[in-house]
């Protein structure tokens, strides 16, 4: 039951995050990016936990994690206007120095999430192995982008 509760929470947070993001986006693209990444982090945590066996797998939770990533992949790239590299942000200057490379990474993320959504069907991946096959490339895309376009901590 905890899995369904966690999936519901992530789903609700995603809806609230993306609804709220549009309200603040024009005024503060950095805050919008951070809100979207917060939901991505929650989905990655849930998905990674299931992949490692730390969280019991359920198709609903898998679908929720994938759907959250998909929503982020369709909106995230819109919140990097010129000048939004200043302030408290984890975005590396490379985003603005190499916009074509960044757009290519965003396209890989969108492609991976599109495939994951298609593979998950209506109710979510049927089992853990199907989830791993769908979600693994999404996480790989995140890692690839972070290596170049996220500030090192």
CATH classification of the domain holding 142: 1.20.120.10
**DSSP conformational letter for 16:** H
DSSP string computed for 44-63: HHHHHHHHHTSS---HHHHH
The answer to whether residue 61 sits within a structural domain is yes
Q: How far is CA 145 from CA 10, 83, 102, 126, 138, in A?
A: 23, 20, 8, 29, 11
Domain hosting 130: range is 2-75+89-149
The answer to whether residue 80 sits within a structural domain is no
Number of other residues whose CB lies within 10 A of the CB of residue 101? 14
Per-residue pLDDT of the chain (153 residues; tens, 9 = 90+): 555 555 555 665 565 555 554 444 458 999 999 999 999 999 999 999 999 999 999 999 999 999 999 999 999 999 999 999 998 999 999 999 999 999 999 999 999 999 999 999 999 999 999 999 999 999 999 999 999 999 997
The answer to whether residue 81 sits within a structural domain is no
**Domain tally, the chain:** 1
The answer to whether residue 119 sits within a structural domain is yes
The answer to whether residue 137 sits within a structural domain is yes
The answer to whether residue 96 sits within a structural domain is yes
Helix (H, G, I), strand (E, B) or coil at 150: strand
DSSP string computed for 64-132: HHHHHHHHHHHHGGGG--TTTTSSS--B-THHHH-HHHHHHHHHHHHHHHHHHHHHHTTT--SSHHHHH
């Amino acid at each position: 039951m905890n899995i369904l509760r966690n999936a519901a929470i992530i789903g609700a947070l995603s809806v609230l995050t993306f609804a709220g993001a549009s309200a603040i986006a024009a005024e503060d693209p950095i805050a919008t990016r951070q809100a979207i990444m917060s939901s991505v982090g929650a989905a990655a945590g849930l998905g990674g936990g299931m992949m490692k066996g730390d969280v019991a797998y359920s198709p609903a939770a898998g679908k929720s994690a994938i759907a959250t990533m998909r929503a982020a992949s369709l909106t995230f790239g819109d919140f990097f206007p010129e000048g939004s590299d200043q302030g408290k942000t984890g975005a590396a200057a490379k985003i603005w120095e190499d916009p074509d490379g960044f757009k290519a990474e965003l396209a890989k993320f969108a492609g991976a999430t599109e495939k994951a959504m298609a593979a998950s069907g209506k109710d979510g991946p049927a089992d853990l192995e199907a989830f791993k096959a769908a979600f693994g490339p999404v996480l790989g895309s995140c890692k690839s982008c972070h290596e170049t376009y996220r500030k090192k901590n």
